[in-house]
């Protein structure tokens, strides 16, 4: 692989606008998946879509982890005190 080809993915990543929100990232990811599943892209386009999809998944995972930490911090006990409680331990009715 030549140096020009190796720098192309970095340039493509730098040119992509980062998502403004979790919802925007999820919507972009859905569109990428649909386009890839349609079979309409050639191999190079599929690879670029896959790379962007990986970036969007990483972004979404980071946002979800941040929200989960916030929920843990903000969880209130029945007596009104605040205590860190893992998100997964909340009763199903409290998960929204």
Pick the more confident residue, 33 or 17: 33
Q: Percent of the chain beyond pLDDT 70?
A: 64
Question: How many C-beta neighbours within 10 Å does residue 59 have?
Answer: 19
pLDDT level of residue 26 (50, 70, 90 thresholds):
very high
Nearest C-alpha neighbor of 13 from the set 55, 45, 59: 55
At 2 the pLDDT is 46
Q: How is the chain split into domains, by residue range?
A: 19-94
């Amino acid at each position: 692989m030549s140096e020009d080809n190796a720098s192309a993915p970095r340039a493509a990543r730098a040119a992509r606008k980062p998502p403004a929100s979790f919802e925007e990232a999820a919507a972009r990811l859905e569109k990428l998946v649909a386009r890839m599943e349609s079979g309409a892209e050639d191999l190079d386009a599929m690879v670029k879509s896959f790379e962007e999809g990986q970036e969007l998944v990483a972004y979404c995972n980071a946002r979800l982890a941040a929200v989960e930490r916030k929920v843990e911090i903000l969880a209130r006990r029945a007596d009104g005190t605040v205590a860190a409680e893992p998100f997964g331990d909340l009763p199903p009715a409290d998960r929204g």
